[in-house]
Structure 1
Amino acid sequence: MTGSKICSYQDLKVWQEGMNLAEACYQVTIAFPKYELYGMTSQIRRSAASVPANIAEDYGREYRPEYIKFLRIAQGSLKELETHLLLSARAKVGLIDTQLVTPVLRQCESVGRLLRALIRSLDNKGSRE
């Protein structure tokens, strides 16, 4: 954030981008076959929604190590999401065209960078206190 006061997890750029990523995943899975509704579609949507949910969880508590733990869980959900997307685009699976999944994977990379930066920032604050 550029000098803006952060009053809520909703003010965090990483949460906002995580929400955008989840929304993109919902959009991209609309084209998946109906027989995948409880399979890959569900897996992608749940892991995508888990990223901003874990960023929000424990926000504002005064115990920084616990919040960092939830941010790391968000990182794990992000890697799970990337794996589901990559698997869906594999030729022998063929649920989505690689060209459609590439922008979503770029969003994953961006959210991952933001998560790492936030974790580093919180870790550094913790070591100075």
Structure 2
Amino acid sequence: MRRHNFKKLIIWQEAMKLVDQNYLLTATLPDYEKFGLRIQMNRCSVSIASNISEGPSKRTNKHFTKVLGDSLGSAYEWVTQLMVCYPQKFISEKNFLVLEEKYKHYRVKFQTLMTSWNQKFKILKQKSLSLDSKRRDS
């Protein structure tokens, strides 16, 4: 599998922007959330980008797909915590809607990337099986 420079992946760049926006948001959370929502949201947002960057280092397609799935899982966690912030009045409706929309955009791009990679992996696997079959027949 050809490895990619994760910094060139648009989804990683967008995840890094989400990290910045998340830190701006969590800095405004009440002090009593310092070790609750604040730390958890920060960890989730960083995990999204970190897992994407880890993906290209994996040796197999299966591992690469797994870390992409882990990143998507962190995104689901993060948006859940965002949904906790809104009714508690920790975030304005406007900011909530903007961040929720960014999450939706990210999720769609992410699922598109995973589908694309899975299709490539299937094609590569089929080609490999075909070559193995030809070698055995020779």
What TM-score, normalized by structure 2, do the two folds share? 0.83
Correspondent of 2:112 among 97, 114, 117: 117
1:127 has 2:136 as partner: no
CA contact (8 A) 2:86 2:93 kept: yes
Q: Number of residues paired by the alignment?
A: 122
CA RMSD of aligned residues (A): 1.4
C-alpha distance in structure 1 between counterparts of 2:32 and 2:38, whole Å: 9
Larger radius of gyration: 2
Q: Which has the higher contact order (CA 8 A, sep 6+)?
A: 1
Residues 8-47 of structure 1: matches in 2 within 5 Å?
8-47=5-44
After the TM superposition, which parts of structure 1 deviate over 4 Å for at least 4 consecutive aligned residues? Answer: none
Question: What's the secondary structure of 2:55's corresponding residue?
Answer: coil
C-alpha distance in structure 2 between counterparts of 1:44 and 1:60, whole Å: 25
Instruction: Name the % identity.
Output: 24
C-alpha distance in structure 1 between counterparts of 2:123 and 2:108, whole Å: 23
CA contact (8 A) 1:47 1:81 kept: yes
C-alpha distance in structure 2 between counterparts of 1:59 and 1:117, whole Å: 17
CA contact (8 A) 1:8 1:60 kept: no
Residues 1-129 of structure 1: matches in 2 within 5 Å?
7-90=4-87, 93-129=88-124
CA contact (8 A) 1:9 1:15 kept: yes
Question: What's the secondary structure of 1:39's corresponding residue?
Answer: helix
Q: Whose helix proportion is higher, 1 or 2?
A: 2
